Amino acid sequence: MQTFPISVCGGASGSLYVVNLEEEKVIAKAQGVHDGQVSKEQQAGRPSINTAKQAMEKLYGRIDGGGVIAVQMHGDIVASSGREGGVKLSRITKYENDMHTSDNLEDIVDGDLIPLGSIHELQKTIVTSLKFDSNGNLWCGCYDGTIRAYNMSDTSTAQFPPPQKPLFQSDFTDSVLDMDLCEDLNLGVAATADGGAALFDMSTGQFFAGMMLFDGYACRSVVIVKLCRNDAF
């Protein structure tokens, strides 16, 4: 499903907003999906408050505005993570009284985000980055030093997402703070809290190269840039 110019945004209060950038309108939203702040002990099975605070300082320094950590959208499915740990999934839907009959997101005038569930295996870790690939796999970079890929291509089941193990799990030397993918090169890169960037194979998750970029400082963000060479002048 074509989603441009549709964007999903996470708010400081922990809410999610789906926005039509061309029309400058919020077309769907869900309030309080994630914790706004880490201010008390988390419930059993969640990261501790100390872990959450350490992760937020690694991600944002000493200035933390609160709210959602990462969001990604694939078709009408939204994946989001918060400081309480784990990944939650929602579907964009229009209200029944919406006069539009098209399935295109651009045609939604007023809608909502319907919760679909969460990925239970991730509840004990803070997910710092999310990426969907073209096959519907959801890639999760985690503060526990792992990158995990889940198949989210089938969203038709009544109990989506069904209990499942990741397609694979890769372990890195330190907490993963950001991640990027390049499907053309079958290449992924993870930015880690020890100041490094690590390359991995998207087919297997196997780490194969890395470099230390910032000695004593965290590497907070990373992106893969493809350079196009044109030898004809």
**pLDDT tens string 98-124:** 444 445 665 666 778 889 889 988 988
Rg (CA), the chain: 18
> What does the alpha-carbon distance between residue 23 and residue 87 come to, in Å, rounded to a whole number?
29
- Structure tokens, 110: 């007023």
Residue 191: name the closest of 169, 167, 203, 173 by CA: 173
For 203-227, write each residue's pLDDT tens digit.
Answer: 998 998 888 888 878 999 999 887 6
Residue bearing the bigger pLDDT, 208 or 43: 208
Identify any residues that bridge with 180 across adjacent strands, giving them in sequence order. Answer: 189
pLDDT of residue 161: 61
Q: Which residue has the tokens 């959208």?
A: 73
Q: DSSP secondary structure string, 46-105?
A: S--HHHHHHHHHHHHTT----SEEEEEEETTEEEEEETTSSEEEEEEEE-TT-------G
Residue bearing the bigger pLDDT, 44 or 204: 204
pLDDT of residue 100: 46
> What does the alpha-carbon distance between residue 205 and residue 193 come to, in Å, rounded to a whole number?
19
